[in-house]
Structure 1
């Protein structure tokens, strides 16, 4: 999972003109000679996707092995991040919302008209946010909960598998069991035959 760049932009609601307020990237996975071209492509694509998106929309666009996630607020303030295909869309959208909230808190809307180029923008929070959200488990509570649930499932699966690894089969145990009535054994056998989703039982 990798986040490559984040751009904060503004789409003028009346003219649809798009300006880049601030951008940050982590291109360490690219060779030194590729980085400037990759940076240009990401900046160009981010601006283009905001230009083509309506106010109040969220979207994700696939380009080769990358996904561009875009959030354009109703006031025109926008954010685009470029990530690999493994980076979850839900997490990317949470990241964009967090970036825009942080930007709004530190750079009030009254100052936006004066930002014509990145150097005009005083905002300095992007690098920290980009680094923090490289690991969604640390930045996003929902991801942490999801992973803990998956870990619990994995432990459960491993436990069931370890019983089967000893050469025991659940079918054989059911047949031999003295604690199950003949009717329960028949029910188990017919359920196994009729419902493939019961194979884990």
Structure 2
């Protein structure tokens, strides 16, 4: 399970291309000469998916071995590029957290953005690393995993005692 990119975009109501507010990509698993092309591809697909995601909606788009998840909250759109095995529930939980954190840090300033931002947003880079494990993004999945581990330990203890 891998997250390749997380992006924040401002969706334009007139049908114009969405504006990139923040971008974090991990293209280290691609060849050195492919990396710039992959980044351009991520930006292109992100703009396309964000443009087609209506406000208040979530959607997932399959592209080759990747799923592109998007969540548009009143024009502020979070996009995640995950591999096919990343749980959908965890993906949308992560996108929701990213939007919440963006609004907490920047408020409504994103509404006045007129061009793509090149400023790094450290939270997004940290989220890209931290949430490679889907259980970090989805509390229910984390609890389920802990219960499964406890169950295995109890079964092993029961076998040793008997």
Residue 24 of structure 1, CA deviation? 0.5
Please state how far the C-alpha of 1:26 moved relative to its aligned partner.
0.9
Matches within 5 A, 1:121-200: 123-152=121-150
Maintained 8 Å contact 1:9/1:19: yes
What is the deviation of 1:38? 1.2
Aligned residues: 159
Counterpart position of 1:8: 8
Distance 2:120 2:146 in 1: 39
| 2: CA distance, partners of 1:58 / 1:24 | 20
TM-score w.r.t. the length of structure 2 is: 0.86
What's the RMSD between the two structures over aligned residues?
2.3
8 Å CA contact retained: 1:81, 1:96: yes
Measured after TM superposition, the shift of residue 147 of structure 1 is 1.2
Determine the C-alpha separation between the residues in 2 that align with 1:72 and 1:47.
Answer: 12
Supply the distance in 1 between the matched residues of 2:52 and 2:65 (Cα, whole angstroms).
Answer: 21
Please tell me whether Structure 1 or Structure 2 has the larger radius of gyration of its CA atoms.
Answer: 1
Q: Secondary structure at the match of 2:33?
A: coil
- 2:101 counterpart residue number: 102
Segment drifting more, 28-37 vs 110-119: 110-119
Q: Which has the higher contact order (CA 8 A, sep 6+)?
A: 2
Confirm or deny: 8 A CA contact 1:54 1:72 kept in the other structure.
Answer: yes
1:143 Cα shift? 1.8
The list of structure 1 runs, each at least 4 consecutive aligned residues, that deviate by more than 3 angstroms after superposition, is: 121-124, 149-160
- Which residue of the partner structure matches residue 58 of structure 1? 58
Normalising by structure 1, we get a TM-score of 0.70
CA distance in 2 between counterparts of 1:146 and 1:16 reads 42
For the pair 1:117 / 2:116, whether they are aligned, the reply is yes
For structure 2, the 5+ residue unaligned runs are: none
Quick one: structure 1 residues 43 and 114, their matched pair in 2 at CA, closer, same or farther if it must change by over 3 Å?
closer
CA distance in 2 between counterparts of 1:24 and 1:50 reads: 16
Give structure 1 stretches of 5+ with no counterpart.
Answer: 163-201
